[in-house]
Amino acid sequence: MLSIQSLSKTYADGTRALEGIDLDVPNAEIVALIGGSGCGKTTLLRLIAGLDRPSAGQIALDGEPITGPHPGVGLVFQEPRLLPWLTVAENVGFGIDHLPRRERRERVAHALERVGLAEQAGRWPRELSGGQQQRVSIARAFVANPRVLLLDEPFSALDAFTRKDLHRHLLALWEEVRPTVLIVTHDVAEAVALADRAIVMRPRPGRLDDTVALPMRRPRDPAAPTSEAATRNILAALDHSLRPRDASRAPELAGGSSF
């Protein structure tokens, strides 16, 4: 269980990025974080990853407080961030150097097979397309068998066809390892395709505003009535989150929206 309690973040210049975040994410759940610019989605991921420290509150994984980078938490950025002097296979295995060589080699080979890049293991990152590079970064995140995987708009720079293909690879890897996943996205269709629930945030300061349950079976047809209804619900929640309101209003996340 990933547990976030009374989490707030105020930067040195006085900017209140997050305030009063309370969120529990059960093991193996996929949660999409969605909201307008400035609502603190990336800040929240960085705090969970241990890359920044909160101003108040606590983040815990299975009861263990996260106070810095944690071996059980993986992070995929918007850009692949591959090391250009390492091959594809070496990039994927970069974070598991502590494992015996044979196990490391087997894990890397399996991860590359699952993302469709087994034949590219010996190539350099510069020789790959953008979509292939992002597949490598996803394989690198999964190869360590993380308990929590954080994705910060990893598919936003890709075309629709490549994005859909990467959704498929991501879900295939998730089915094997079943980590808890939090994905930041601006794409409502992406949230509907991937997540078990979408959490809508509102800005200035960033707070949780609403939740939309997404209980449909995968793979999901975007044209199915349930997917279309979920899309409408998320869009309505987003519209509501951007309307001016009393800043003292508490987020109503207990029941959430449904369809």
User: Using one digit for the tens of pLDDT, what is the confidence trace for 35-53?
Assistant: 988 899 999 999 999 999 9
Residue at 100: amino acid letter = P
Calculate the average pLDDT of the chain: 91
pLDDT band at 254 (very low <50, low <70, confident <90, very high): very low
In degrees and rounded to multiples of 5, residue 225 shows phi and psi of -55, -40
What residue spans define the domains of the chain? 1-27+38-69+197-209+236-259, 71-183
Model pLDDT for residues 87-140, shown as the tens digit of each residue:
999 999 998 988 999 999 999 999 999 999 999 999 999 999 999 999 999 999
pTM > 0.85: yes
| pLDDT score recorded for residue 249 | 46
Supply angle C-alpha 241, 246, 252, rounded to 5. 55
Say if domain 71-183 classifies as CATH 3.40.50.300: yes
What sign results for the dihedral spanned by CA atoms 241, 246, 252, 257? negative
Give the C-alpha separation, 247 to 259, whole Å.
28
pLDDT band at 248 (very low <50, low <70, confident <90, very high): very low
